[in-house]
Amino acid sequence: MIKIVVLSAILGLTSAMAQQPSQPAPATPAPAGDATTGQTLFLKIGCYQCHGNEGQGGAAGPRIAPAPMLAFRAFATYLRAPRGEMPPYTAKVLSEQNLADIYAYLAARPRPAAVESIPLLK
């Protein structure tokens, strides 16, 4: 009896897997963001207080720039429902376009100079 139940469950799972598409659905692209507007928002809503003026990180928040590690959709999802001390930025506070602008600002931050290029550190 147990063997029949297990076999039935395995067949059901394999059938469900066979019906799923082999390619994952393409991610929704980020709306076009404006880095200048994003910088204004980043400073206006206080992101800099924890993440630094350039997103370099600080005592209260991690480094989020240059080049954010998260894809736009993951970035937006986290801002809407963060964990820990960070306040949520719902759509009432920041629109999807606002998020795209902040994301564009963070992505546009220049990378720091290579250590080898700093004479004092040679």
Question: In three state form, how does the secondary structure of the chain look?
Answer: CHHHHHHHHHHHHHHHHHHCCCCCCCCCCCCCCCHHHHHHHHHHCCHHHHHCCCCCCCCCCCCCCCCCCCCHHHHHHHHHCCCCCCCCCCCCCCCHHHHHHHHHHHHHCCCCCCHHHCHHHC
Question: What mean pLDDT comes out for the span 5-13?
Answer: 42
Q: What ranges do the domains of the chain cover? A: 35-108
- Domain at 35-108, CATH class: mainly alpha
Q: Which residue has the tokens 């009432």?
A: 92
Q: Render pLDDT for 30-81 as a digit per residue (tens, 0 to 9).
A: 678 999 999 999 999 999 999 999 999 988 899 999 876 789 999 999 999 9
Q: What is the mean pLDDT of the chain?
A: 81
Residue 16 pLDDT exceeds 70 = no
